[in-house]
Structure 1
């Protein structure tokens, strides 16, 4: 009887990308069930022209795509964010992003959303911290609430 040597390094590598939500990794699980809730997956099927080129997005852009499910808009927002020199400028881009269906006033002040934006704002010289950006976004929201822009 032949005996096989099984080496742990011979197993295939698996890459798992998780973008938000609640997730559980169970390496010893016998079965796995994946449930999808919401209409974002139907949106992709209904409007495929907006997802054309999605395979060209890097990981950071994919995170932004979860908020802005249009590849062309993702590229435009990353360009605008790259031009920001201050957190105030970044808040100005966020005010434009508020027109997106998945980007609301409650979303833009969350640390997870701000962390998605920061990698694109490479010109920020100071104030490139979540709390500072959040403060500038709150200031922008207050100005908008008073009828200013």
Structure 2
């Protein structure tokens, strides 16, 4: 870099083109989707969240929905209620997969946001409830 500044590129999904010899780069956004998403991101400051909520936020593509998920998890009183929220995450979030929702580390992140879940809150029991919910989901045709 000519002026001694360092440039850092953070790339998250999508298509990227890197031109190391280009003098300038222009990126055009069309439509209001980008603006609406940017406004939602700015309205939700992740540093204001608890560490438990921040741990879940890494799996959420649409950060505007994070507060909804946290509120729903806070109301869970049973393993099946937690499994329902896991299915909602699976349906609405690109980063959440069927393989992820049954992993102990992900279940622990969900469990940390469920203060009302006092019985049946072992990882094995919650995984079984999530597996039951997965089995009841209609199969998607490809």
Q: Same fold (TM over 0.5)?
A: yes
| Alignment of 1:123 onto 2:97 | no
User: Match for residue 39 of structure 1?
Assistant: 13
Deviation at 1:71, TM superposition (A): 3.3
Tell me, in whole angstroms, the C-alpha distance in 1 between the residues paired with 2:76 and 2:96: 19
Paired positions, count: 110
Distance 1:130 1:51 in 2: 32
Gaps of 5+ in 2: 1-8, 17-33
In structure 2, the residue matched to 1:101 is 94
Where structure 1 has 5 or more consecutive residues not aligned to the other structure, the ranges are 1-34
TM-score between the two structures when normalised by the length of structure 2: 0.67
- Deviations along 1:10-34, one digit per CA (max 9) or x if unpaired, are xxxxxxxxxxxxxxxxxxxxxxxxx
Q: Which has the higher contact order (CA 8 A, sep 6+)?
A: 2
Alpha-carbon distance, 1:146 to partner: 6.6
How does the TM-score come out when normalised to structure 1? 0.64
Q: Is the partner of 2:112 in helix, strand or coil?
A: helix
Write the distance in 2 (CA, Å) between the matches of 1:37 and 1:132.
37
- Structure 1 residue 123, shift from structure 2 partner: 0.5
- The 3 A distance-change label for structure 1 pair 136 and 70 is same
Of 80, 86, 90, which residue of structure 2 is paired with 1:88? 80
CA RMSD, aligned part only?
2.6
Deviation at residue 132 of structure 1 after TM alignment: 0.7
Work out whether residues 67 and 102 of structure 1, in 8 Å CA contact, stay in contact via their aligned partners in 2: yes
